[in-house]
Amino acid sequence: MAKPLKFKAVDFFCGGGGMSYGMKLAGIDVLAGIDHEENCKKTYEANIKGAKFILADVFELKPAFLQRKLKLKKNDDELILIGCSPCQFWSIINTDKRKSKESKNLLIEFRRFVEFLKPGFIVVENVPGVLREKKESGLEDFIEWLEKEENGYQVHFSVHNVCDYGVPQSRKRFTLVANRVSNKKIFPAKVTEIPITVAQVLGENNGFPKIMQGHRDETDFLHTVQKVTDASMERLSYVKKDGGNRFGFADIKHLQLKCFIGRDSSFKDTYGRLWWNRPSPTITTKFYAISNGRFAHPEEDRALSLREGATLQSFPKSYKFYGTSISGIARLIGNAVPPEYAKHIGLAIKEHTNAI
């Protein structure tokens, strides 16, 4: 039997380290994380021990420079290049596309490094929108290049829901795993048919004491909650516990928002509460505010805390987040690849390849 490969990874667009942490849980050595946002640095370095944080804009970063800095080899069967680029432009969420337009070509930029280094493995994780718009996003050309006979990659790509992989959240993500080490396609195998629910990870019995809106937790646990306006608190008081929505105050004239009048079928999750016995909805970068989606606690009159959002993303309670504002830390959490999902991608690579 061949000697097991000793995998190592470089994580492009690493953010606060969700993908890197999951890869480490799978036993993969993470050499470095690359991101152009300096506010990711402290969080990444605090949690991804032994990895370098490279502050760089991928549009300006040169493959040869990265090769020298990390002492990488071309055509290294043990190297995994990971590209989980910011995805707002391809998201179905109603965001300002002008602000995110510069990120639409990040997959194309990531491809430069793949072509230069020809690693054994490639992982890409993003919103399903990159698949729907695969030509414009650069995905179609990238897959065609990978599958060319002279490049020799076996490519799996599909949309997976992370709740099938031990994450207590319904979050559909496009995932590509390419390898040129074996002749079979590699993909993470589902680990559960019964998703983990909110009740299994949140609440007092899971280490989350009851708190009020506006609570500040100065410890690393960060059970910190955004302050809610008096009007929003009144609205929330009419939203039934455990899965209620904004229809609870729709007929109360002074509470109903003008944007919802006559639009009962639009944005139904706004001001909604999580269900105890279901996975949470997708944790976005705005999960700290009840006006941004179904982000109210199932029974307490408040939004989710920072630590609750991180837990629903499958970060361990010991994971440290740093930032100067609730919104800044929430952005690190909401943009992250859930570590538990990342772990199963890493395990799929290891287990499949070392079984050859």
Angle at 103 between CA 176 and CA 290, to 5 degrees: 90
Please compute the mean of the pLDDT values over residues 271-285 and round it to a whole number.
97
pLDDT at 308 over 90: yes
pLDDT at 8 over 60: yes
More confident residue, 105 or 316: 316
Name the percent of the chain lying above pLDDT 90.
77
Angle at 344 between CA 319 and CA 356, to 5 degrees: 140
Please compute the mean of the pLDDT values over residues 208-219 and round it to a whole number.
97
State whether residue 34 is helix, strand or coil.
Answer: strand
Residue 106, pLDDT score: 82
pLDDT at 14 over 90: yes
Nearest alpha carbon to residue 288 among 326, 245, 321, 241: 326
Question: Between the CA of residue 23 and those of 17, 50, 121, 237, 311, what are the distances in Å?
Answer: 10, 13, 13, 42, 18
Name the percent of the chain lying above pLDDT 70.
91
Q: pTM surpassing 0.75?
A: yes
Element (H, E) at 117: helix 106-117
Residue 90, pLDDT score: 37
Residue 331, pLDDT score: 96
Residue 246, pLDDT score: 86
- What strand order describes the sheet that includes 52-55? 52-55, 29-35, 8-12, 79-83, 121-126, 172-179, 154-161
Please compute the mean of the pLDDT values over residues 260-272 and round it to a whole number.
72
Can you point out the beta strands (E) in 96-142?
121-126
Whether residue 269 contacts residue 291, with contact meaning beta carbons closer than 8 Å, is answered with no
Active site residues: 87
Please compute the mean of the pLDDT values over residues 245-256 and round it to a whole number.
84
Q: At what angle do helices 63-70 and 106-117 cross, to 10 degrees?
A: 60
- Please give the mean pLDDT across all residues of the chain: 90
pLDDT in tens, 111-170: 999 999 999 999 999 988 877 777 777 888 999 999 999 999 999 999 999 999 999 999
pLDDT band at 260 (very low <50, low <70, confident <90, very high): low
Residue 267, pLDDT score: 67
pLDDT band at 270 (very low <50, low <70, confident <90, very high): confident
For the chain, the structural domain boundaries read 8-191+338-354
Domain covering 8-191+338-354: architecture: 3-Layer(aba) Sandwich (3.40)
More confident residue, 107 or 256: 107
Tokens 């990971």 belong to residue: 82
More confident residue, 202 or 107: 202
- Bridge partners of residue 79, in order along the sequence: 8
Tokens 């994380």 belong to residue: 33
Can you point out the beta strands (E) in the chain?
8-12, 29-35, 52-55, 79-83, 121-126, 154-161, 172-179
Residue 99, pLDDT score: 45
pLDDT at 96 over 60: no
pLDDT at 92 over 50: no
